[in-house]
Every structure is written in C-alpha cells, then in structure tokens.
Chain A
C-alpha cells in the first residue's frame, strides 16, 4: 500500500472538484430522481465510510454500527421537533450526542476480541433498537417519529426544496468524507492500520491498544451519526428501521462490495447498493432475490470489493 503521509492538498482538490461537479449538475439538468439518489447516497456514504474506519482500517468488525446512524437520526429529529434550535445547531448537537454514545458503548466493547466484539456491538444495537421501539412516548415506537421536521431556513437555504436539500447534503457529505480521509491518512490512522496488521507488535511499540480502538470507535460513531442526521433530513423524521440490524447489514455490504482497502470503496459500494436497489425495485418486487444473487456473484467471483479488485488487477498489470 502506498504511503498516505502526503499532504492532503491532492485529496482536498479532488473533493472540491467532485463537489463542484455535483453542485453544477442541477443547473445543467434537473432530475429529481438523480437528486434524490445523491441525497440518500450522501447519508449512506458517510455511514459506510465511517464503518470502514473500523472494519478496513482497524480490523474491528462491528455488527452494530447502525445504532449510531439511528441515534443520530433520532437525536436530530427530536431536537428539531421539541426545541427551537436552528438546524445546524441541532445537527451538531445530534452528532455530539452520538459521539458521546459511541464513547460509552465503545468503552465497554473495545477490549473484547474480534468475534465477541462483533456480537456485543450487535447486542447493543438490538438493545437500543428495543428501547426505541418500547419508549413510545418519546420515539413514537414502531411507527417512528412522524409529523415531519420543522423546515427552518438556514442562511437562506430552505430545506423543503429538494434542490437546497441536495446541495446541503452534498456539501456535508463531501466535507465529512474529507475529514474521514484526513483521519485515516493521519499518524493516528496509520496507528490503526498497524493495530489491524499486528496488534502485539503495535502494543510493544507503546501504543495503548484499547485507547486507539476506543478513539476509532468514537470517531466512527460520530460520523455515522452525521449520516443519520442526513437520513433524518431526507425522510423528514426518524424510523426504528434506521437503527435496526438490516441497516447495519447494508453498511457492511456497501463496505464489502466497494472494497475495504480503498478509502472510496465504501462510497462506491453504497452507490452500487442504492442503485441496485432502485433498479431492481422498478423491475421486480423480489429485490432480495436479485440483490442476493448479485452479492453472491461478487463475493464468489471477485473475492474482494470492486475497487480493491481493480487496484490489485491494475498493480499486477503495471509490474
């Protein structure tokens, strides 16, 4: 793997260009379906990429990452409905809340070994899911938080308009991804990869393993919460499904489909998964059948994520 220690100028430039293209598209051609897709992708991409900070970077397989996505969505939606806070403040508080929740859950989980870590995160997720379901007076139970979010204007942006929501989500997602990229390329990110590759050696070098893992878990939880905020904006509320197991599953598959060793792998995976769902939903009601077969083909055919596959193929060719 190439060194990631270079300055982030190139990444920032790529992100700026990508953002510019995404923002220019609606002025050239308005397509509600495309805008809708980008809004959903922005939430999913943040969610999947934050999970990959754990899975790909640190080697921590969390089955319960959806809990932070759901918590972010609920915290944000509740704050918007119950208080008069402005949208950015509510979003920041929601992310802060999710980060703290991740810190608490992580403090309990990160010392367990791989298999048990996976299961305990799943248990925590299901615990939070059943709290959401049973605390009806606050969360609306299995109906979810309905009634919509009050659409307060921010800086002249009106989020009831799809275009403005699209722009807002694109900016947040690109900034979030850039931040994650910086974290993963930083010395801290290198430490995490070192833990993944050989935890005893890393420990001998003086790295406190649980502390680094806890940081990774907390940061990943916070970014998943940010994804949840975008999801809450999109559905204009919050639903228990956001915190449910299949949602964590979706993120894991996005990560796996795209590739765990490439930073943009999860983003590509999320896009593929969403596009696949959309296309299949139009053709047949049996989405699971088609999605399952596609996953099987990828898993058995490529044996790794798409982006990882191409990187390996490309580096073989160039030798």
Chain B
C-alpha cells in the first residue's frame, strides 16, 4: 500500500491525466465486453461464461487479418464481424439447446467452449504471447494534455468505444429493433405471442454481443498482448462490471466499467499489489448495499 504515492499523483495534473487515460482505456474496453454480457443476460437470462472467448478470438482474428490485409481498420472489422457470426453459431448450435434448463447446464456448456477454444487458439496461433504492435497510422508523437502523455491511439480508442456506447444506447431506446429487444427483456414469451420471431431476435442479440466482444478484442490487440486464456480475466471483470452496474442495464455497464477502469488506473499507484482485491471489495460492497446494482431494477 502506498497512499503517499497516490496522494502525490492526485496533486499533479500530469499523473492524473495519464492515469485517467489508462483508466478510461480499461473501462471502455471493459464496457464493450460487458455490454454484450448484460444484453444477453437481459434478453435471454443467460449468463454467457464464454464471452471472454469471443474477446480473445476477436483479438486473434484481427491479428491475422492485419497480417493479411495490412489494414488495421479491416482487421478490426474482421474481428468484430467474425465474432458476430460466431455468436450466432454458438447460440444456435449450443446455447439454444439448453434454454430453460438448469443454470449449471449452461455454465457447463460455456466452460466446455472456453476450454476448447483456448486450446484451438494454442494449436492455430501457438501457445506463446503475440504482440500486434501499434498500427502504422498511429505511430506518431503522443499528445500532451495538461502535462500528461496521451498516445493518439488511446484517444481514438476511447472515442470509438464512446461512439459505440451512444449508438447502442440510442439504438436500444429509439429504433424498432431496440424496442423489441427491450420488450423481450421484460417478457420474451409475450413478444413472441405478438408475432415477433424471437428465435431470430435471440440470434441477433448474440450476434451483437459477440460482435462487441470481438470488437473489443480487436481494439485491445495493439495495446495488450495476445495469449490463449486471455479471455478469462476479461470475463471475470466484465461480470463484475455487469453486477455492479445492474444485470441487463447498458447505462449501468458503462458507468461501472468506467468506475472499474478508474479504480484500476489509480489503484495501480496506491495499491500496486492489491488492485484486483480492491475491485472485488468494491463489488462486494455494492452487492451488499444495492444487490440489484447501481442501475438495475430490483429482481
């Protein structure tokens, strides 16, 4: 524990800017993953334990796509779209078979998928760590904001994630599809009785969730290293985000992802050994004080 360093950091604008940026990066990427988790839970009442796998595969697909096309934008698109497709296949082929059965059965299937794809990634890309490297376009001098160093790629990353958050929020509240999704979250059977093809709707929800996770993986690839099993820590954190924000609430996911990101950003200075522990303590505290989460409705 190093409260002295934390105090010193909070009083210098350079340190505040740097840590806030790194916190926002973590938070925004986390939001993209957690948004999918919370959307899938909200509509299908399924806790998708395989969501970290989507994130991991998105990163690896983008890594390969970058090698082939040499365009980071195409790589990100490839990562996101392939995972959207994977989400549909996963839902149709596996998850749809256990709708309505024991939660543990769903967990078992998801865990099997996690195990299988961690090893498939090892077979295809090898067990070693891969670094994607910063895309060519962003290999420029960093920005200086109030004395803090902000690489331009970070700024773009935060921008893209923020844009997605807005599109998702507006899409859910105003478009026809968004309203149908929200209605299905309240009562899927009723929505089905009103003539909406819920089978298609569920597949779309999985496609959006998977696509977002793949996008997050592809966006994170230049700033983090790729390794088999990397999905797991992201999965746990996105669960924490989902629980803190309220299961099924996109706004809650955004708020709590940023909260977790900032706790991480500044926690590494104050409690370098215990940043993870800090996050679990936040989660336990919130679960005790507000079990439904910050933005959740009481179940």
Interface of A toward B, CB cutoff 8 Å: 55, 61, 108, 112-116, 118-120, 122-124, 126-127, 130-131, 133-134, 245, 249, 252-253, 255-256, 260, 286-289, 291-293, 295-296, 299-300, 303
By the criterion CB–CB under 8 Å, are B108 and A108 in contact? no
State the main secondary structure of chain A at its contact with B.
Answer: helix
Q: Which of B226-278 contact A (CB under 8 A)?
A: 232, 236, 239-240, 243, 247, 273-274, 276-277
With most chain B CB atoms within 10 A of its CB, the pick from A120, A131, A133, A299 is: A299
| Given A123-B287, A134-B274, also A295-B112 (CB < 8 A) | yes
A61-B104, A300-B109 are known contacts. Are A123 and B280 too (CB-CB below 8 A)? Answer: yes
B110 to nearest A CB, angstroms?
10
Using A108-B284, A130-B280, A303-B105 as known contacts, say yes or no to A115 and B116 having CB atoms under 8 A apart: no
Shortest Cβ gap from A59 to chain B (Å): 10
> How far is the CB of A137 from the nearest CB of chain B, in Å?
11
- Asked whether any CB of chain A lies closer than 8 Å to the CB of B98, the reply is yes
What residues of B have a CB within 8 angstroms of the CB of A112 in the complex? 287, 291
**How many Å lie between the Cα of A22 and that of B185 in the bound state?**
53
A245 to B103: give the CA distance in the assembly, Å: 18
Q: Given A245-B236, A292-B119, do A130 and B277 touch, yes or no (CB 8 Å)? A: yes
Q: How far is it, in angstroms, between the C-alpha of A5 and the C-alpha of B200 when the chains are bound?
A: 49
Q: Tell me if B94 is interfacial: C-beta within 8 Å of chain A.
A: yes
A295 & B280 in contact (Cβ 8 Å cutoff): no
B32 to chain A, nearest CB (A): 20
Hey, what's the 0/1 contact readout for B167-191 against A, CB within 8 Å counting as 1? 0000000000000000000000000
Using CB atoms, name the residue of chain B closest to A284: B119
B115 adjacent to A119 (CB under 8 Å): no
Shortest C-beta distance, A257 to chain B (Å), equals 8
Contact A127 B284, beta carbon cutoff 8 Å: yes
Q: Provide a sorted-by-A list of 16 A–B residue pairs whose CB atoms are within 8 angstroms.
A: A115-B47, A116-B243, A116-B287, A126-B276, A127-B284, A133-B276, A256-B105, A289-B115, A291-B112, A293-B112, A296-B116, A299-B98, A299-B105, A299-B108, A299-B112, A300-B98
**Contact call B111/A249, Cβ cutoff below 8 A:** yes
**Top 10 A-B pairs, shortest CB-CB distance:** A292-B115, A292-B116, A288-B115, A289-B119, A295-B112, A127-B280, A134-B273, A130-B277, A292-B112, A288-B119
Provide the residues of chain A in CB contact with B163, threshold 8 Å. none
Q: How far is the CB of A119 from chain B (nearest CB, A)?
A: 5
Q: How far apart are the CA atoms of A256 and B107 in the complex, in Å?
A: 10
Minimum distance in angstroms from B291 CB to a CB of chain A: 5
Q: Which residues of B contact A253 (CB under 8 A)?
A: 108, 111
CB of A61 within 8 A of CB of B103, answer yes
Verify B277–A134 contact, CB threshold 8 A: yes
Find chain B residues with CB under 8 A from A287 CB: 119
Chain A residue numbers with a CB within 8 Å of B239 are: 119, 122
> In whole Å, how far is A248's beta carbon from the nearest beta carbon of chain B?
11
The answer to whether B94 and A296 touch across the interface, beta carbons within 8 angstroms, is: yes
Instruction: Identify the interface centre among A119, A252, A291: most chain B CB within 10 Å of its CB.
Output: A119
In the complex, what residues of B have CB within 8 A of residue A245's CB? 232, 236
> Complex formed: what's the CA distance from A295 to B119 in Å?
15
Could you say which of B98, B118, B284 contacts A120, with CB atoms under 8 Å apart? B284
Smallest CB–CB gap between B204 and chain A, Å? 23
When each residue 105-138 of chain B gets 1 if its CB lies under 8 Å from chain A and 0 otherwise, what string results?
1011101111110111011000000000000000
Structural contact, B105 and A291, CB atoms closer than 8 A: no
Chain A hits for B113, CB < 8 A: 292, 296
- Chain A nearest CB from B298 CB (Å) reads 10
Q: Is the CB of B284 within 8 A of A295?
A: no
Chain A residues closer than 8 Å to B218, beta-carbon distance = none
Cα A226 to Cα B107 in complex, Å, equals: 26
Q: Take A55-B104, A116-B243, A286-B122 as given contacts and tell me if A292 and B287 are in contact as well, using a CB distance cutoff of 8 Å.
A: no
Cβ A300 vs Cβ B247 within 8 A: no
Which residues in A have their C-beta under 8 angstroms from that of B94? 296, 300
B276–A130 contact, CB under 8 A?
Answer: yes
Please give the distance in Å from A71's CB to the nearest CB on chain B. Answer: 15
The chain B residue sitting closest to A298, CB to CB, is B108
Residues on the B chain within 8 Å of A288, using CB: 115-116, 118-119
